[in-house]
Amino acid sequence: MMIKRSFTFVELDAVSIGDSVEDEYGKKGIIEKIDILKRFNMISYYFILSKSNGTILILK
């Protein structure tokens, strides 16, 4: 599944642990953990990838 920064909240909430994902810049992996942080009027989606492939961050 391709994760884009233009995704809506509904599309981002549909992503789950175990999904194989790739972002617009080529970073890819299997989601190991999802953190959603709500601060003021901004929501941050952190998709932590397995095998130390990093994190995909989406700010809304």
AA letter at 31 = I
* Residue ranges covered by each domain of the chain: 2-59
Q: 36-45 burial by CB neighbour count: b if 16+ within 10 A, else e?
A: eeeeeeeeeb
The answer to whether 27 touches 21, Cβ cutoff 8 Å, is: no
Summarised one tens digit per residue, pLDDT across range 1-51 is: 999 999 999 999 999 999 999 999 999 999 999 999 999 999 999 999 998
**pTM of the full predicted structure?**
0.90
CATH number of 2-59: 2.30.30
Q: Which residues contact 10 (CB under 8 A, 6 or more apart)?
A: none
Tell me the torsion sign for CA atoms 7, 23, 41, 32: positive
